Structure 1
Amino acid sequence: MTAQTTDLPADLAAVALAAFDQVVVATPGFRVRTGQHEMAQRIASSLHDVTLGDQPEPHSAVTVIQAGTGVGKSAAYLSTTVALALARKTRVVVSTATVALQEQLMTKDLPVLAAVLDTPFVFALAKGRGRYVCKLKLERLVGTGGAEATELFDADDDAAAAAQPAAAQPRRGVVWQDPIERRVALYDSLAAALAAGRWDGDRDSLAEQPEPSDWSTVAAERHTCTARHCPRFSSCSYYQARMQLAQAQVIVANHDLVLASLGMKALPDLDNCLLVFDEGHHLPAVALDQFSSAMDLSGLRWLDKLPKILIDVADKMGFVLVQDVTTLAQQLKTALLEANRMAMDLLRGVSAGYDVVHRFKDGVVPEALLEPFKLIHDHAVALSDALEALGAELKSRAKEDPAQATHCSVQYARLGQMAPKLNSAVATSAQWLNSDEPPLAKWFKSDTSSGLVFLSAHACPIVPGDLLRRHLWQHVRGAVVTSASLTTCGSFDYFLSETGLADLPQVSTLAVDSPFDYRTQGQLIVADTAADPKQVDLYTTQMVAALLADLRAVQHGALVLFTSRVQMQAAVGALDANLQDTVLVQGQMARGRLLGIHQARVESGFASVIFGLQSFGEGLDLPGLLCETVFIAKLPFSPPSDPVEEARAEWLKRDGRDPFSELVVPATGIKLLQWTGRAIRSETDQARVICYDKRLLSTSYGRRMLQGLPPYAVSRRVLGALSAL
C-alpha cells in the first residue's frame, strides 16, 4: 500500500462490486446478465490497487473489455469506477466518441447511479473552450461596426471568401442579410441574452446554432485568452464551467478533448484519476487526427495583417519587437507562394482536374520542394517567437497592473486571432521536414468545393499506437477501455496494436458475450450477385436490383447501409414511386428529424426504410419493429485513396508485411460488427441482416470477418433460393 491508500477499506474490489449490486437491485425490471457481472468484477479486481499520484514505482492497470450489445456496460463501469474513486477520494473521467452517449450518461445513467449510491457525488460535462463565448470579445462587437469589429470579422476572411457561394444561399425561411449586419445582429442578441440571464454562454444551449464563422469570432479560444488576468475572468462562461468541473467527482468528456488536453490541466492529471474510454474503438483515429497538421497555401491575406497587428500592439504597449516582423511576414508569404506554385505545377502534372490529392511515396519530398518548406519553417518560427514574446509581455503587465488588464486582454485577443494560422505553418512545415521512421504521410490537396481553388499541405503520423503509447498510456494509472467492437476476426490483437496497448504488462482483456440469442433471434443472409464487387458499376446495378426487390417486402422498419454516396444515389435513383414514399435518405434532413419521421411511420403501421452511410452504421438504436432488417450493400472497406492508409500500407509492404491482412481486413471486420449490430437491440427483437457482398462467404478474409460477428444463423441466397450453412 502507498501512502495514498492508507485508511481505505481493506478490500476496495468488494466495495466496487457492492456498488454494482446496489445498482442492479435498484434497476426496475432488471434481468440477470452474466456478462455485466463479469465486466464489473474484472474492473473491480483490475483497478482496486492501482497507485495514484506521484509515486516512485507506481502500479498501473488497463483493462480492455469488449461488451456485446445488451450487456449494460455503462452501469457496470460507472458503478465500479465511481465507487472506487469515491473511496479513494479521487475522480473518474469518462470519455466517449459521440454526443449521443454523452447525453445518455449525463441525463440517464449518472443520475440513476447518484440516486442509488450511499455516498453523494457530483458529475459534470467537460467541453472544449471554443464551445463557450468570450465576453470580452462580445463586448467589443456589440452595437459596433467600427474598425475593431471589422478587424475581428476579417480575421479569417480567406475562409469566409471561400465559403461565400454557399453562404450566399440563405436557409429556407431565412431572409438574406449582409454578413456584417447578420453578425452584428447576432452579437447584440447574444449580449442581451447574457445580460438578462437567459443564456449561460454555452453555444450548445442556444436554441439556434450560429454559423461557424460567426461563432469563431466570439469563441473563447486559448490563443486569445489571458485567463485570470482578463477583467471578465470572474464571470467567464468557460472558467465558470471549469470551476464546476473542479467540484465534480465524475467528468464526462470526449476522446478529442482528452487527447487535446494532455499536459494542459484542463482535465484531472491522468496519473491521479481513473479513466474510462467508452466507444474505445475510435481512439486510434482520434489520435491520428490530434497529431496531424495542415496549412493553407492559398489564403494568405492574414500575412498582410499580421505585422500590422504586431507593430500596432507593440507600439500601444511601448514594447520593442526584436524581430523585423514586416520583412519576416513578407518572406513567409513569398515562401508559401513558392510552395503553392510548385504544388500547382506538380498537381497539373498528375491530373487534369482541380480536385486532387497527391501523396509523396514513403513520405519523401523532393529536395527542390523542401526548400520553400525550410524557409516557411524558419520565418514562421521567428514570427511565432515575436508573437509569443509580445503575448507574454501583455500577460505580465495585466498581472502587475490590474488597471491595464482590459486593455492588455483586448490586445492579447488581437494577437491570438493570428496564432492558429501561424501555428499551423510551424507545425506542418516541421512535419514535412521530418524524416523519421516510420515516415509521416505527406500530401498536397487541391479542393474546389467552396467555389474557389484552395490548396493545402498536410502531414500525419501513420502509426496511432505509437502516439497513444507515448502520449497517453505512459501517464495513465487506472483505465477501462470498452466498446461493443474491440475484437475483430475473433481476436483483440488488432485493437491492442492500433491503440499501443499490445505487450504492455499492465493490460488485460476480456470479451463479454451479449445476452441476446443470435441464433434464434437473428439471421444473416449473404445474397450472391453474379458480378464481383470489384466490378463496381456492374455490381452496383445488380446489387440495387436485388435490394429494391427486398425493399418491396419490408413491412415495418429497415436500414440500408451503403459504402459510398455514389452507391446510395444509384439506389435512390432506381426507386419507383411506391418505394420513394417509403425511403428516408441521410442528408435530406437533420438526423433527429429523419429518425423521428421513421419512428412515427413505423408506429403508425407503415413501412419505413432509412438509407444511410458510415455514420448511420454505428450508434443508431432502432429496437423492435423500427429495424427488422439491416441491408448491407457491400463490405465496408475504407476508400483506397485515403492518404494516411496508403502511406501506412506502403510502409508495411516495404517491411515485408501484408497490409491487407494486417490492417484492411481487421478494420473492415470492426465496421462490419458495428453495422450488423444495428439489427438486434433487445432480448425480444427478431431481425435479420442481408449482405449483398458474396465475398463474406466466398473468400478466406470474408470468413475471417465472419468469425468476429455474433453467432447468427447464416445462410446463402443464390438466385432467390436460400441454403443454410
Structure 2
Amino acid sequence: MELPELVEATFGTQGALAQSNPQFKPRPGQTTMAVAVARTLQEGGALVVEAGTGVGKTFAYLIPALLSGERVLVSTATKALQDQIYTRDLPFLRKALGISLQAALLKGRSSYLCPYRLELAESEQDTATDAEVRWVAAVRRWAATTQTGDMSEMPGYTERSPHLPLVTSTRENCLGAQCPSFSQCYVNKARKRALAADLVVINHHLFFADLQVRESGMAELLPSVRAVIIDEAHQFNETGIHFLGEQWSNSQVLDFARETLRTCNKLARGLADWPQLVFEVDQACQGWMRCVGEATNVRINWADAAPAGVDAPAWQEALTRQANALQTLHAALQDVRASAPELDRLAERCQHHWRKAQLFAGPPRLGRVRWMDIGAVTLRMIESPLDIAEDMRSHWQLAPAAQAQEAKTAEGGGAHAWIFTSATLGADAQLSHFTQACGLEQAQVLQVPSPFDFARQAMLYVPADMPQPQDAAHHGAAVAQLAAEGARRLGGRTLVLTTTLRALRLIGEALRKQLADAAALEVLVQGEQSKQRLMERFRQPSQQRGYVLVASASFWEGFDVPGDALQLVIIDKLPFPPPHDPLVQARAKRYEERGESAFAQLFVPEAAIALKQGAGRLIRTETDKGILVVCDPRIASKSYGARMLSSLPPMARARKLESFEEALRRLAAQRPSAGPDGDAAVPAVPQRSD
C-alpha cells in the first residue's frame, strides 16, 4: 500500500486512531491534509498548508511522518509546542500506530546546563550575590539527578531568570571540543541523540542556527534528514531574517569585556595590561552609546552612515575608536591564546566584535535594511534582508516535476520534502504573502478550512457608532466602555487585544475605572505580571472572580483558552503594521519601486493575517461559543474592509447594539454548569484541535 493510502486508512473509521481512541471522529479536512503531506513525503517538493483551527494539523503531519520511514525534522516556533509534540503527541501516536521509532528533542545551547560554566560559577562565588549563590547551589543539587541537562526540567525554573547565563553557554563563549568538560556536555549529547534519531523536534531559531553552521562547512543536522516539517510557519520568515542578517549590541561588547578581564586575570595575569586594554574597549562602547542620546524603547531608522538623528562624524569616530580598542586587545590575546582554550576562544570573539564594528561603521549593504533598537539599557544594531526568499530558494531545491523525478532517480532515493503549515498564512488563495517572502513560489498550496460551525458558534459585531481610531482618547474610552459592558454580563471572560502599547495602557486604565464598583471582576493588564501567570489566572475564573485581560503583541497568537473561560474577544482596531518601522518601510519601498501599491500588497495583507490570528483566540473547540468585536469602523466603510472580512471565519454578523446585547444575554444564560474553566468541553484524549 502506498503511503497516501496507508495514511488515509489510518484516519478512517476503522483506522488505528479510531481503534486506540473511542472518542476519535474522522475529520475530512484533517484527512485531506494528511494525505497531501504523505504525497509530498513520498514524491518530494514543497507543500504549504494553511489549516484552520480545529483541523488537527499536528496529527495530520506527524502520522505521515511516522509512517513514511524517512528521517524527519519537525521545527516549531515555540519551545512550548516542541515539548508538547515530544512529550505528549509522539508517545501517544507511537503507541496508537504500533511503531518503534527513536525520537529526539533538541533545543538551543542556552536551554541546557553547561557543566563547565557551573564549575566556573562555583569557583567565583566570593564575588557573587547571595541570590546567585543560592541559585548555583540549587543548580548543583539538580545537576546530580538530571539525565538530559534540560534546564526547563529543573524545579523552580523560569525562562527569564537573570542567573541562567551563569550555568549555560552561548555560541560566543562555548569552548567546543576544547572544553575541559566536553565529555559531559549536554548540548553535545543532545546533538548526538538527534543525529541518531528517526524524528527530531527543534525550533525555528535552532533551524536557522544549524543552517548557518552547515554553511560554514560543518556536518550538522539538516543534511542528515530527507524531510523537514515547519509548524507555526507564520513566524518562519521573521525568525529567519534576523538569523540571516547581522546583529551587534552594547551588551554583547560589555559582557565580552567583563569576561575577558576575569579570564585573563585568572589565566594570563601579568602577560599584558588587561585592565587597561579592557577599559579602552569599555570606554569606547560607552562613547558610541552616548552618541545615541537619552531615547529609550524606540526603533531608529538607519539609511545612511549613522542612525537617524545621530551626528554622523561623531558616530564614525566613536565606532572607529571601538574598532581600534578591539584590535589592540586582539593583538594581546593573540600572544597568549595558545596557552588555554578559554583564551583562544576570547581571541576569536574579539575578532568577531572588531568585524562588527567595521561593518556598522560603514553604510548599509545593498539589498539590506538597517536599524537600531534602543531599549532601557541595550542598544542593538541590526542589518537584515527584507525577507528570506533570496537566501532560502537554493535550499528548497524546488524544480518542475520532471526535473524532480530525474533527481530522485539519480540519487537513488526520494527528493527532499518540505512541509510548511500554520493556522494563518495568508489573505489570498495562493497564500502569496507567505510563499513570496520565503521563496516558495513553486510550492503546492493547500487551504483546509476549520471544521467548526462558526455561523452557529460565533458572532462578529462591528459597532456602528465607534469613534475613529485616529481619535485615540475617545476611541480607547469607547472600547473600554464596550468591554466593561460585556464583562459585566459575562462575569469577565473577556479578552481585549490592542495594536499598540499606548492603547494597552489607555484601555486598561479606563476599564479599571469603569469596573471599579464590580468587586467580582478583575482587570489584568499585560506587563504587570508574567505572561504565563496572566494566562493561568485568566483560564481559571471562578464564581467569585472573573477576569478581563487587556493584552497586545504576543497574545494575538498562541494564547489558547478552550471552553467558556473566554467568550468575548474585542480587537481595538485593524492591526496594520507600523508604518515607521524600518523593515516595513523598506518592504513598502520595494513594492513602490516595482510600480505596485505598498498599501494593497503589504499593509492590507499583513493586517488581514494579524486580524485572523487575533480572531482565532475565540473559538478553540467544537462546543465553544462567543462574540468577536472589531472596534474599527474602517472594516465596514473602507474598500479594503471587504478583504479583511473575507479573511475571518464565516461568523454571523451584526452592526446594531441590540444584537450585541442579545448575544451577550444568550451567552450568559447558556453557560454550561460543568465549571467556569470549560474543562468539559475539552477532549480527554489527545485528539488535537489546533
TM-score by length of 2: 0.80
Q: 1:473 to 1:486 in 2, by over 3 A?
A: farther
Tell me which moved more, 411-420 or 701-710: 411-420
Aligned counterpart, 1:597: 537
**Is contact 2:114–2:185 with CA below 8 Å preserved after alignment?**
yes
Answering whether residue 21 of structure 2 is matched by residue 79 of structure 1, we say no
Q: 1:193 to 1:625 in 2, by over 3 A?
A: closer
Aligned equivalents of 2:341 and 2:161: distance in 1? 22
Please list the CA deviations of residues 74-124 of structure 1 after superposition, one character each: whole Å capped at 9, or x if unmatched: 11100002221x2xxx42111111233223212321111110223311222
Aligned equivalents of 1:29 and 1:302: distance in 2? 54
Q: 1:245 to 1:656 in 2, by over 3 A?
A: same
Answering whether residue 153 of structure 2 is matched by residue 201 of structure 1, we say no
- One of 423, 433, 436 as aligned partner of 2:362: 433
Matches within 5 A, 1:453-532: 455-469=379-393, 477-502=416-441, 504=442, 507-532=443-468
**Is contact 1:558–1:630 with CA below 8 Å preserved after alignment?**
yes
Instruction: Give the Å deviation of 1:308.
Output: 6.0
Aligned counterpart, 2:103: 123
Answering whether residue 486 of structure 2 is matched by residue 550 of structure 1, we say yes
Q: Which amino acid in 2 is paired with 1:358? A: I
Q: Which amino acid in 1 is paired with 2:385? A: P
Aligned equivalents of 2:331 and 2:38: distance in 1? 49
Aligned equivalents of 1:307 and 1:232: distance in 2? 20
Unmatched segments (≥5 aa) in structure 1:
1-9, 51-60, 151-178, 395-410
Aligned counterpart, 1:660: 599
Aligned counterpart, 2:408: none
Aligned counterpart, 2:677: none
SS in 2 for 1:224: coil
Aligned counterpart, 2:40: 46
Aligned counterpart, 1:285: 238
Instruction: Give the Å deviation of 1:371.
Output: 6.1
Q: 1:95 to 1:301 in 2, by over 3 A?
A: closer
Aligned equivalents of 1:599 and 1:530: distance in 2? 29
Please list the CA deviations of residues 357-386 of structure 1 after superposition, one character each: whole Å capped at 9, or x if unmatched: 432347887974556546755775786698
- One of 11, 30, 40 as aligned partner of 2:2: 11
**Is contact 2:479–2:631 with CA below 8 Å preserved after alignment?**
yes
**Is contact 2:563–2:620 with CA below 8 Å preserved after alignment?**
yes
**Is contact 1:142–1:191 with CA below 8 Å preserved after alignment?**
no
Matches within 5 A, 1:11-160: 11-20=2-11, 22-25=15-18, 26-50=20-44, 61-84=45-68, 86=69, 90-142=70-122, 144-145=124-125
Tell me which moved more, 62-71 or 705-714: 705-714
Q: 1:282 to 1:40 in 2, by over 3 A?
A: same
Aligned equivalents of 2:192 and 2:597: distance in 1? 50
Answering whether residue 644 of structure 2 is matched by residue 705 of structure 1, we say yes
Matches within 5 A, 1:314-393: 336=285, 339-340=288-289, 343-344=291-292, 357-361=299-303, 368=313, 369-370=315-316, 373=319, 376=322, 380=326, 393=338
Q: Which amino acid in 1 is paired with 2:183? A: S
Aligned counterpart, 1:442: 371
Q: 1:105 to 1:686 in 2, by over 3 A?
A: same
- One of 127, 134, 138 as aligned partner of 1:189: 138
Q: 1:661 to 1:687 in 2, by over 3 A?
A: same
Aligned equivalents of 2:252 and 2:146: distance in 1? 38
Aligned length: 632
Instruction: Give the Å deviation of 1:484.
Output: 0.7
Instruction: Give the Å deviation of 1:666.
Output: 1.0
Answering whether residue 608 of structure 2 is matched by residue 679 of structure 1, we say no
Aligned counterpart, 1:168: none
Aligned equivalents of 1:431 and 1:99: distance in 2? 32
Aligned counterpart, 1:243: 192
Q: 1:424 to 1:678 in 2, by over 3 A?
A: farther
SS in 2 for 1:527: coil
Aligned equivalents of 2:439 and 2:361: distance in 1? 24
- One of 551, 562, 583 as aligned partner of 1:644: 583
Aligned counterpart, 1:172: none
Instruction: Give the Å deviation of 1:583.
Output: 3.2
SS in 2 for 1:120: coil
Q: Which amino acid in 2 is paired with 1:534? A: Q
**Is contact 1:287–1:467 with CA below 8 Å preserved after alignment?**
no
SS in 2 for 1:95: strand
**Is contact 1:67–1:483 with CA below 8 Å preserved after alignment?**
yes
Instruction: Give the Å deviation of 1:185.
Output: 3.2
**Is contact 1:524–1:688 with CA below 8 Å preserved after alignment?**
yes
Q: 1:308 to 1:41 in 2, by over 3 A?
A: closer
Q: Which amino acid in 2 is paired with 1:461? A: P
Aligned counterpart, 1:611: 550
**Is contact 2:387–2:438 with CA below 8 Å preserved after alignment?**
no
Please list the CA deviations of residues 28-86 of structure 1 after superposition, one character each: whole Å capped at 9, or x if unmatched: 31222111111011111122033xxxxxxxxxx110001111111111100002221x2
Please list the CA deviations of residues 231-257 of structure 1 after superposition, one character each: whole Å capped at 9, or x if unmatched: 433332222323332332111111111
**Is contact 2:103–2:197 with CA below 8 Å preserved after alignment?**
yes
**Is contact 2:654–2:660 with CA below 8 Å preserved after alignment?**
no
Q: 1:696 to 1:419 in 2, by over 3 A?
A: farther
Aligned equivalents of 1:529 and 1:260: distance in 2? 50
Instruction: Give the Å deviation of 1:135.
Output: 1.4
Tell me which moved more, 258-267 or 273-282: 258-267
Q: 1:91 to 1:186 in 2, by over 3 A?
A: same
**Is contact 2:72–2:225 with CA below 8 Å preserved after alignment?**
no
Instruction: Give the Å deviation of 1:271.
Output: 6.4
Aligned counterpart, 1:694: 633
Instruction: Give the Å deviation of 1:521.
Output: 1.9
Aligned equivalents of 2:148 and 2:112: distance in 1? 9
Aligned equivalents of 2:421 and 2:539: distance in 1? 29
Q: Which amino acid in 1 is paired with 2:85? A: L
Q: Which amino acid in 2 is paired with 1:24? A: L
**Is contact 1:310–1:415 with CA below 8 Å preserved after alignment?**
no
Q: 1:471 to 1:330 in 2, by over 3 A?
A: farther
**Is contact 1:129–1:222 with CA below 8 Å preserved after alignment?**
yes
SS in 1 for 2:446: strand
Aligned equivalents of 2:92 and 2:297: distance in 1? 51
Aligned equivalents of 1:718 and 1:278: distance in 2? 39
Aligned counterpart, 1:413: 342
**Is contact 1:296–1:455 with CA below 8 Å preserved after alignment?**
yes
Answering whether residue 213 of structure 2 is matched by residue 260 of structure 1, we say no
SS in 2 for 1:48: helix
Q: Which amino acid in 1 is paired with 2:390? A: D
Please list the CA deviations of residues 442-470 of structure 1 after superposition, one character each: whole Å capped at 9, or x if unmatched: 33x554x35xxx55544333233334435
Aligned counterpart, 2:229: 276
Aligned equivalents of 1:306 and 1:76: distance in 2? 48
Q: 1:272 to 1:625 in 2, by over 3 A?
A: closer
Instruction: Give the Å deviation of 1:688.
Output: 1.9
Instruction: Give the Å deviation of 1:500.
Output: 2.0
Aligned counterpart, 2:569: 630
Q: Which amino acid in 2 is paired with 1:460? A: S
Aligned counterpart, 2:165: 216
- One of 527, 534, 537 as aligned partner of 2:473: 537
**Is contact 1:71–1:514 with CA below 8 Å preserved after alignment?**
yes
Tell me which moved more, 25-34 or 253-262: 25-34
Q: Which amino acid in 2 is paired with 1:235? A: Q
Please list the CA deviations of residues 501-553 of structure 1 after superposition, one character each: whole Å capped at 9, or x if unmatched: 12x3xx11000111112122221111134521122222222222233233322
**Is contact 1:64–1:482 with CA below 8 Å preserved after alignment?**
yes
SS in 2 for 1:252: strand
**Is contact 1:258–1:267 with CA below 8 Å preserved after alignment?**
no
